[in-house]
């Protein structure tokens, strides 16, 4: 080495001081390792998602079929994975409608509908319907259900008949990955004129 110094070799003169450019125990090698660890830590933090109990994370990777993750911690790769948070339960919907029974009596109804996500992957891939779209389907099915019955047959609107109607609604909203968990008619008003006409039609004929 002394010969190289005497000959004026700049490489030999600089090499002993290469790791002394940083203070203390740090060297260029340890600094590179530290930067790599920081980068890995930031990548892990950016990839970590916490999925609460009432949600699911639908992850698609490079065109593969989506996977459903959660609840709990889930890892996704930024720039590689695409993910969508899907809430499992919708807010309760109030549905108001008018419907006529088979014997011509007009009813004004209020129903409460609870909708939940039964298939998060399908729900994430399909266009998410607005609440108005689901409400429109519920109105149509409920109106058809009432039109097939007379007024005196509608006492089961709050019992077993509603289960059959709920199954019909499940088929209608199933393409969106949804299911109807509750459908209950909480109010049914009959206008007085319609009720009087219905009673008059069933009044016994006066004796001759």
Tell me the per-residue pLDDT of 168-184, one tens digit each, with 9 for 90 and over.
888 889 889 999 988 88
Residues 79, 121 share a domain: no
Name the average pLDDT for the chain: 79
What is the residue range of 166's domain? Answer: 93-202
**Cα–Cα dist 24/14, whole Å:** 19
DSSP β-ladder status, 93-100 and 106-117: antiparallel
State the CB neighbour count (10 A cutoff) for residue 8. Answer: 8
Confidence check: pLDDT of 26 > 50: yes
CA separation (Å) from 128 to 57, 84, 120? 15, 12, 11
Residues 75, 100 share a domain: no
Residues 196, 120 share a domain: yes
95 Cβ contact list (under 8 Å, min separation 6): 109, 110, 111, 112, 113, 135, 138, 139, 142
Short-list 143, 146, 46, CA closest to 102: 146
pLDDT, tens digit, for every residue of 87-134? 998 889 999 999 988 888 888 999 999 999 999 999 988 877 788 888
pLDDT at 4: 47
Residues 120, 45 share a domain: no
Would the pTM of this model clear 0.75, i.e. be above it? no
The tally of domains found in the chain comes to 2
Q: Does 99 reside within a domain?
A: yes
Residues 146, 99 share a domain: yes
Torsion of CA 112, 118, 124, 129, to 10 degrees: -20
CA separation (Å) from 4 to 18, 19, 67, 72? 17, 20, 64, 63
């Amino acid at each position: 080495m002394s010969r190289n110094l005497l000959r004026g070799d700049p490489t030999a003169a600089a090499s002993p001081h290469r790791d002394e450019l940083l203070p203390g125990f740090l060297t260029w090698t340890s600094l590179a390792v530290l930067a790599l660890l920081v980068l890995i830590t930031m990548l892990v933090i950016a990839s970590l998602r916490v999925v609460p109990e009432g949600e699911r994370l639908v992850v698609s990777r490079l065109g593969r079929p989506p996977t459903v993750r959660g609840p709990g911690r889930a890892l996704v790769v930024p720039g590689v994975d695409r993910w969508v948070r899907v809430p499992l339960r919708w807010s309760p919907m109030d549905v108001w409608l008018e419907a006529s029974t088979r014997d011509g009596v007009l009813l004004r109804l209020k129903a409460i509908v609870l909708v939940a996500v039964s298939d998060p992957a399908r729900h994430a891939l399909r266009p998410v319907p607005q609440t108005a779209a689901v409400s429109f389907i519920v109105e149509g099915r409920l109106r058809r259900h009432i039109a097939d019955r007379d007024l005196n047959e509608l006492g089961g609107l709050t019992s077993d008949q509603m289960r059959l109607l709920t199954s019909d609604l499940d088929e209608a909203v199933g393409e969106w990955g949804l299911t109807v968990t509750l459908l209950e008619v909480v109010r049914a008003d009959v206008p007085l004129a319609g009720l009087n006409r219905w009673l008059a039609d069933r009044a016994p004929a006066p004796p001759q």
